[in-house]
Structure 1
Amino acid sequence: MENIGAAAPDAPKRARARNRRGEGGRLREDIIAAAVELLDEAGDERAITLRSVARRVGIAAPSIYPHFPDQPAIMLAVVQREFSELRDSLLSMLEQAGTDPRERLYAVCNAYLDFARTHPERYRTMFGGLWVPDLGDSSLTASDLAELGADTMRILVTELAGCAAAGQSASTDPSSDAVALWLGLHGLAHQRAVTRAFSWPQDIADRVITALAHLKGPAA
């Protein structure tokens, strides 16, 4: 378990009303939300400790234990929540994208890049910042980690397969090509974050998507 005596500077503890019976789930969500706030503010996973989270929520640090056994368990919950947010962002964009397969694929890919751009610290943590999952830790399981990002990948596979079925993509293996497409998007998102002085071509995202999705002809 984490040493709750060591913590980065954090916001003053605020008073929090005791949960009524059956409201333990609300405290769990408050803990996760506080951890996300600390990550956004500090830009560093090391700012998330049991004590700093407890102070942000307004509880004593031991009150976290019924919900999370240690700091890695909180970090896993943060990452799981953000992957769910990413999935929801992609699905929301698809609802506005219409029925053209190519437009839908572009919408999904651009929504992915937008998420990475608007939530840089969360995105970095999701894909292995200072927090690195440890399967030797009892609070983490292989199934927990295997599901991270699985929904996002399924969306990419589905939309790329739709392009191939419509004759808009030359992909003969949408599942594998979707992995390559994700790698391209992830690489672009990462480099945009760490190489801000570089003069990126305005259509760099379109170039990456078109090439890795094997799209045919001009953009719709």
Structure 2
Amino acid sequence: MADEATASTRPRNRRGEGARLRDDIVDAAVELLDETGSESAVSLRSVARRVGIAAPSIYRHFPDQPAIMLAVVQRAFGELETCLRDATAAAGDDDPRRRLYACCYAYLHYAREHPERYRTMFGGAWMPSLGDTSVTVQDVETLGDGCMRLLTDGLRDCVAAGISQVTNIEADSVALWLGLHGLAHQRAVTVAFPWPPDIAERVIAALAHLTSSSAPSPRS
């Protein structure tokens, strides 16, 4: 009865506006995650209450709770990809080193500004056994593909310009991502540690096998 009463607070969508309700559901899930920092707070009932609909209405768009979380994570990866792309473009076309650093700094900035989303993107706590949910192996395997391509392209440009000694671009792109992810994670979970002020530059330069040169200063 409570769900029905709550549902009455939201106007019924007009024909063709089902996509708006889907977006509202994902918006509500993201808000709950940001506010609580816990995937467990994102339940069908809590999302329905936040949107103002009856919980069964969610099933028209999401067959189960993991499907909602998948949409949340997909949106977060889309946000991250946009940040990386925008930062790379803003760095200009003249210096591939600057573009790569800009891309990496943007990655670390997103992780710092959205800790709950970032942890969920890579934590996997929201993911049950794939046999018990509508989420597929392909859904999970393709998460973050666009972000990885941008890092790989940045590294490839540095190799082409002769400022990186990488010999296996795909493998070293993964190594670079692991370094960024490790730094982002440790910064988030370590309450007190005397991080060197240039630790990001050191990680990027080492894992990208860049030739000696001063690193561009981070823009964030």
Q: Return the TM-score normalized by structure 1.
A: 0.92
Q: Deviations over 1:90-134 (max 9, x none)?
A: 111112101210000000000000000000000000002531353
Relative distance call for 1:95 and 1:182 in structure 2 (3 A) is same
Alignment of 1:111-122 (within 5 A): 111-122=106-117
Which residue in the other structure is 1:58 paired with?
A: 52
Query: Which of structure 1's runs of 4+ aligned residues deviate more than 6 A?
Result: none
**Number of residue-to-residue matches in the alignment:** 210
Distance in structure 1 (CA, Å) of the matches to 2:124 and 2:132: 18
Contact 2:89–2:99 under 8 Å retained in 1? no
Q: Secondary structure at the match of 1:151?
A: helix
Which residue in the other structure is 1:177 paired with?
A: 172
Q: Are 2:200 and 1:200 equivalent residues in the alignment?
A: no
Distance in structure 2 (CA, Å) of the matches to 1:204 and 1:143: 35
Relative distance call for 1:138 and 1:13 in structure 2 (3 A) is closer
Q: Are 2:91 and 1:97 equivalent residues in the alignment?
A: yes
Q: Which of 61, 64, 68 lines up with 1:74 in the alignment?
A: 68
Alignment of 1:12-91 (within 5 A): 15-91=9-85
Distance in structure 1 (CA, Å) of the matches to 2:24 and 2:191: 34
User: Can you give the 5+ residue segments of structure 1 that lack an aligned partner in the other structure?
Assistant: 6-11
Q: Which of 196, 206, 209 lines up with 1:211 in the alignment?
A: 206
Higher helix share: 2
* Aligned-residue offset at 1:196: 2.5
- Cα RMSD after superposing both structures: 1.5
User: Can you give the 5+ residue segments of structure 2 that lack an aligned partner in the other structure?
Assistant: 216-220
Q: Deviations over 1:154-187 (max 9, x none)?
A: 1111100000110110001111100000000000
Q: Are 2:145 and 1:150 equivalent residues in the alignment?
A: yes
* Aligned-residue offset at 1:191: 0.2
Identity of matched residues, %: 66
Distance in structure 2 (CA, Å) of the matches to 1:14 and 1:52: 16
Q: Return the TM-score normalized by structure 2.
A: 0.92
Which residue in the other structure is 1:128 paired with?
A: 123
